[in-house]
Amino acid sequence: MLTKLAKIKPRTLAFIAVVPLLAATSIITAPCPVCEGTGILATTPGMENVEITEYDTHEWRITRDACGLYILYFYDIELTLFNKDNQPVEGWLKLTLVDISKEGQTPIVDTQYRPVELDGLSGKELSFTTVFGTGIDAWGQTEVHIEIMTGDIPDATCNGTGRVPSNTWLFINGLKDRFVQTIQNEFEYRPPEVIDWADYTYFDE
């Protein structure tokens, strides 16, 4: 047996050893270094490090327009944001007006978006008025939910699975920053188009 093995060329032995190893490492997976195993990437860089520490909303006025068949809801909003990262960030807040008149249900009435900017490791207090529009007459039966938009999308590197073959992990990890930047540049977050109901407030002037 040893005599037969001695006659086999080293290249053949290497092939016999390497092929099963490559096959095994292509089957065994490891957490994706680009998305850190989550399967998603934020397309508003740094906004995942921003948190709302407190906020308060106050519905102080509604305007009914009989001709346009819509109702405007005026909300004063005060909130405090904090950026936990040392890099400055800019992104968007999503403000959703929901109907709370039905127990256990909060159907969405209208949605508005507001841009924000924060320096690194800093907090910011914001105070502003947001106008929502709808055909629903629900004075005193609505509230505003506020969400930080990170623009999450499936990570194209791992196809949203959060895992990559172990034989490609070193290569992907070495180019991690480039993968992240490429995906974020290609899918830069932009909020959907919405009606700016503040443009319609002149009907009440």
With a cut of 80, say whether residue 6 has pLDDT above it.
no
Task: Render pLDDT for 92-115 as a digit per residue (tens, 0 to 9).
Answer: 999 999 999 877 788 999 999 999
3-state secondary structure of 76: strand
Q: Average pLDDT for residues 160-172, to the nearest whole number?
A: 92
Task: Render pLDDT for 37-49 as a digit per residue (tens, 0 to 9).
Answer: 999 999 999 999 9
Residues 6+ apart with CB under 8 A from 175: none
Mean of the per-residue pLDDT values of the chain: 86
CB 150 within 8 A of CB 47: yes
CB 81 within 8 A of CB 55: no
Give how far the C-alpha of residue 123 lies from the chain's centroid of Cα atoms, to the nearest Å. 20
Q: Which amino acid is at 112?
A: Q
